[in-house]
Structure 1
C-alpha cells in the first residue's frame, strides 16, 4: 500500500500532463504560426499580421503576409505535422523508437522525381509541375515496394525492400545531379535537396495539401492497432488486427504525406524521428495516444526551425533542412546512447 500511495502522485501528475498536452501543443503551433507571419526581412507587429490576413491593412502588409509568408507558414505546419505523424505511425508499426519516414524510400523517390525534372531543364525549381513530378516519384516508389514485397510480406521484407528503393533513388538522384547539362541546373538541385520553404506560393500549397491530408487520414486510423502490436504480432492478430491492411495503410499514408511535403520543400530530415520522442514521456509511451501529440510536435518543430532560419544573420538564408539536421542529429545520437544503456541495463 505504501508503494502504491507513493506512486499515486506521480501517476496523477502524468495524467494531468497528458490531459493538457494536446491543447498546449495546439496553442504553441498557433503562436508559432502567427510569429512566422511576422518574422522576416520586414518585421511586422501582431496587429499588422492580423490586418494583413483580414485584408484591412496597408497594401505592403497584405502583400507580405498573404502572398509571401502565409504559404510558407501553412506548408511548415502541414509538412511538420505529416512528418511527426508519419514518424509516430512507423515507430508504432515497427515497434522501434528509431524508425523514421525515410524507411520506405518515399522521400528519396520524391526527391529523385523532382531532381530529374530540374536536371534536364523540363521545368525550373519553382515550377508548378515540380510537385507533380515529385509526387509521381513517391507513388511509384510505393507501387514498386508493394510489387517487390508482395501482399503478404513480413515487416522485415518490407523494410529491406524500402531500404533498397531508398538507396536506388539516392543513387539515381546523384547520377542526375552528375549528368545535369549545365552548372545552373546542378546548383538549383543542390539547393533544393537541402530542404527549404523559401519562395513557396499558394500553388504549392494547393498541390501538396490534398496529398498530405489524405496521407494523415490513413496514418491516423490505426492507433488501436499500434497499441495491440506492443504485445507482439501474434497477440495483435488474435485481437482481430488485420496486419496486412495496417501495413498497407501505413505505407500508403507515409508515401502520400511525406511525398507531398518533399514535393514542395525538398528533403527535410529528422523531424519525423525527433518529434515523437519529444512527447512520448508525456503519454506514458502509449503508441495510440502518441499520434496527435507527435504530429503537433512536428508542426511546432518545423515552424520554429523555419522562423530560426529567417533570424540567423547570414548573407543568404540558411536552408531549413540544414537546421533540422543540426538539431536532429545530436538528439538522434543521444537517443541511440540512451537505447544502448537501456539494453545494457536489461542484460546486466
Structure 2
C-alpha cells in the first residue's frame, strides 16, 4: 500500500511539474520575438491590459503560433504513446511509419494542382486521408505481431514512397512559386500562423486526441497480449481501427498547418517511462504534455538562435531526434543480444 501511495504521489508530482513547465513555455513563447515582452506584460496583454501594440503582438501575432505549438506537440506526443501502446514496441511513432510524410503528400497534392490553398479545409482532409492510408498500410504489411526489424523496414518503405510521391508532385507542378512554397512548408514551421490556421487544425487535433484517450484502458489490457486482451473483452480489431483513426485525424490536421515535424512522438513517451513506468494508459496524457513542451521549446529556440535566415522548427526537431532514435535502436539491439545470450 505504501508503495502504491509513493507511486501515486510521484505521478501527481510529475504531472504538476509538466503543467508548470508548459505554462512557463507558453509565457516565454508569447514574449519571445523581435519585440521582447516580460511574462507580466504578456499576461497583461492577454487580458486586455498594456498598450495597443502589445495586445496586437501577443493576441494576433504570437498567440496563434503558441496555440498551434502546444496543440501539435501534444498531438504528436499522444500519437507516439498510442502507437507504442498498440504495437507494444518502444520504437513505434507516427513519423517512423510514414504518417506525417503521407499527410504531407496528401496536402502537397491538393496545393500543387490548385485544388485548395493553404487556408482551405480541403488541405487537412487530404492530409488526414493520406495519413490514414499510411498507418493502415503499415499494420497490413507488418502484421499483428511484427518484430522490430519488420516494423522499421515497413515504415521506411512507406516513408520513402510518400517522400518520392511528394517530390514527383513538385516536379510535375508548373508553378515555381507553388513549388517554393511547398518546399519551405515541408521543412516544418509555425511561422506566420494566424487564428485561421488554428481554426483549421484544432477541430481535427481535438477529435484525434479524444479518440486516442478514450482507448486508454484498452491499451493497458493489450499490454498483456492480444489473446489475453480478447479474453478480457477487448475488441483488438476495433482498437486498431480507433487508433488508426485518431492518429490520422490528429497528425493529418497538424501537418496541414505546420508541415512535417518529426520525432516528437518518438521522444516524448521515452522521457516519461523512467518517471512513470511502462503502463501505456498512464503514459498518454504525460506524453502529450511532454510533446507540447518539446515543440514549444523548439519553436522558442528557432527564434533566439542567431542566424541569417529563419530556422525551421522541423529541421531542429529532426537534428535532435535522429541521434535519439539511433540510441534507442542500439539499446534495443543490446537488449536482444542479452536475451539471446
TM-score (norm 1): 0.88
Kept after mapping to 2: 8 A contact 1:149/1:161: no
CA distance in 1, matches of 2:30, 2:259: 21
Q: Are 1:132 and 2:122 an aligned pair?
A: yes
Q: Please list the CA deviations of residues 102-137 of structure 1 after superposition, one character each: whole Å capped at 9, or x if unmatched.
A: 35643223212322243345565xx311x5324323
Kindly tell me: are residues 340 and 323 of structure 1, through their superposed partners in 2, closer, same or farther at Cα, counting changes over 3 Å? same
Counterpart residue number, 1:4? none
Kept after mapping to 2: 8 A contact 1:104/1:251: no
Q: How many residues are treated as equivalent by the alignment?
A: 335
Question: Structure 1: which 5+ residue stretches go unaligned?
Answer: 1-7
CA distance in 2, matches of 1:14, 1:148: 36
* 3-state SS of 1:84 partner: helix
- 295-304 vs 280-289, which deviates more? 280-289
- 1:17 counterpart (10, 34, 38): 10
CA distance in 2, matches of 1:112, 1:323: 21
Q: Please list the CA deviations of residues 216-270 of structure 1 after superposition, one character each: whole Å capped at 9, or x if unmatched.
A: 0111122222222222111111111110110010000000011110000000000
Counterpart residue number, 1:208? 201
Counterpart residue number, 1:184? 177
* 3-state SS of 1:220 partner: helix
Question: Structure 2: which 5+ residue stretches go unaligned?
Answer: none
Counterpart residue number, 1:142? 132
CA distance in 1, matches of 2:79, 2:278: 16
CA distance in 1, matches of 2:326, 2:224: 28
CA distance in 2, matches of 1:144, 1:53: 40
Counterpart residue number, 1:324? 317
Kindly tell me: are residues 346 and 147 of structure 1, through their superposed partners in 2, closer, same or farther at Cα, counting changes over 3 Å? closer
C-alpha RMSD of the superposition: 2.6
CA distance in 1, matches of 2:235, 2:13: 33
Kindly tell me: are residues 255 and 323 of structure 1, through their superposed partners in 2, closer, same or farther at Cα, counting changes over 3 Å? same
- 2:81 counterpart (84, 88, 93): 88
Counterpart residue number, 2:39? 46
Kept after mapping to 1: 8 A contact 2:85/2:219: yes
Q: Are 1:312 and 2:316 an aligned pair?
A: no
Q: Are 1:171 and 2:164 an aligned pair?
A: yes
Kindly tell me: are residues 288 and 144 of structure 1, through their superposed partners in 2, closer, same or farther at Cα, counting changes over 3 Å? closer
CA distance in 2, matches of 1:339, 1:242: 29
Kindly tell me: are residues 260 and 56 of structure 1, through their superposed partners in 2, closer, same or farther at Cα, counting changes over 3 Å? same
